[in-house]
Amino acid sequence: MTVRESLGAVGRYVFVGFVFVFFALPLLWLLTAPFDAAPSVQVSLPDFTLQNFRTLWDNPYAMRSLGNSVIIAAGTMAITLVLAALASYALSRVRIPGRDTLLYLLLLLSSIVTGTAAMVPTFLLMTELGLIDRQLGVVLVLTGGLLPTAIFILKDFMDSTPRSYEESARVFGASSLQILRHVVIPIARPGLATIAVWAVVQVWGNFLVPFILLRSPDRQPAAVVMFTFYTEGGQPNLALISTFSLLFSIPVVLMYLFVNRRYGFRFHGGIKR
C-alpha cells in the first residue's frame, strides 16, 4: 500500500466517522431517553427503567392516537390498493385511448398538488363536503394523492405478468373479476405488497394533512398528538414523548426492513415520499 493510498484510507475513515456521528447523534436520544428513570432532553446513560412505558400505556390520548394512526393508514392503504389494482389491471390489458398521456398527467398532478401547496383548496373542499374533523376526509385526501403513483407502479407489475394464464382461465369460462381475483392478484402479489407497505409508510408519518383537517384530539393520529404532551408545569413530558416516539417509529422501520429483505430489488427510493 502506497503512502497515498493509506492517506486516502485514513481520510475515508475520518469522513465516515464524522458522517456517522452527525447522523447517529440525534437518533441516540430515542434509544436512551425511553429507558431513563428521569429523562432529560440530553443523551445520557439511562438509569434503566421500563416505568415510562407504563406511563405511555396509561395515557389514554397516546394509545388512542396510535390507534387512529392505524385506522387512517389501514384505510388509506386498503382503498388505494383496491382502486389501484383495478385501474392498473385494466390499463395494462386494454388499450384505452390516451392511456399513456393519462398516466403521465396523473403522475404530474400528484407531484405538484402536494399537501403543502394545496393545503388551502383541500381545507376548503373538505369544509364544503362536511369532512372536516372526520378521519374519512383524511383518508380520501391521502388516497387521492397516492393513487397516481400506485397505479403507475402497479401497471408496470401487471405488464410483466404473463397473459397466458388469463387466456386459459377464460377458456374455462371465468369472469373477468374471477380472473382478477384468482389469477392476476396471486401473480402480482409482490407488487401489491410493495404498494401496500409504501402506502402505509407514506401515511403513517404524514403530519400536515391530519393537522389541518382534524380538530378533536381523540381523532388525531400519533404524528399530530405528539406535540400536545406537556406536563402540568408546561414542560414537554419527556417520559411520555420518548416512549411514544419509539413506539411510533418502530412500525415503519420494521416495514422498511421487511420490504428490503423480502423483495430485495432496489426498492429503497420509493418507499418514502
Partner 1 sequence: MTTVPSPTEVDPAGAPSPEGGSRRARAVDDGDAAGLGRWRATGFVAPALLVVAVFLVFPAIWTLYLGLTNWRLTGLAAAEPEFVGTENYTDALSDPAFRNSLMLTLVFVFFSAIIGQSILGFALAWTARRLRPAVRSVLETVVLLAWIIPASVVAFLWLALLDRREGTLNALLGTDGTAWLLEYPMQSIIVFNIWNGTAFSMLLFSSALASVPPSQFETAKMAGAGTFATLRDVVLPNIRGHILTNTLLITLWTFNVFAPYLITAGGPQGRTEILGIYIYRVALRDGALGQGAALSLIMIIINLIVASVYLRLLRERRA
Subset of 170-209 contacting partner 1 (CB under 8 A)? 170, 176, 179-180, 184, 201-202, 204-209
- What lies within 8 Å, CB to CB, of 236 at 6+ separation is 229, 230
User: Which of these, 37, 43, 155, lies nearest to 89 by C-alpha position?
Assistant: 155
And the C-alpha cell for 130? 362536511
The answer to the question of residue 267 lying near partner 1 (CB under 8 A) is: yes
Region from 27-35, 46-54, 55-63 binding partner 1, contact rule CB under 8 A: 27-35
Half-sphere exposure at residue 267, Cβ-oriented, CA atoms within 13 angstroms: 20
The answer to the question of residue 15 lying near partner 1 (CB under 8 A) is: yes
Q: How far is the CB of 54 from partner 1 (least distance, A)?
A: 21
Site for partner 1, residues 49 to 78, rule: CB under 8 A: none
Total number of residues binding partner 1 (CB under 8 A)? Answer: 107
Quickly tell me which residue has 412500525 as its cell: 251
Q: How far is the CB of 66 from partner 1 (least distance, A)?
A: 12
Q: Tell me which of 90, 185, 187, 193 binds partner 1, using CB under 8 A.
A: 90
Are 146 and 86 spatial neighbours (Cβ–Cβ below 8 Å)? no
Are 181 and 174 spatial neighbours (Cβ–Cβ below 8 Å)? no
Site for partner 1, residues 100 to 159, rule: CB under 8 A: 104, 106-125, 140-149, 151-153, 156, 159
The answer to the question of residue 37 lying near partner 1 (CB under 8 A) is: no
Q: Which lies closer to partner 1 via its Cβ, residue 166 or residue 196?
A: 166
The span from the CA of 59 to the CA of 38, in Å, is 18
Q: How far is the CB of 247 from partner 1 (least distance, A)?
A: 10
The span from the CA of 219 to the CA of 225, in Å, is 9
Identity of the amino acid at 106: L
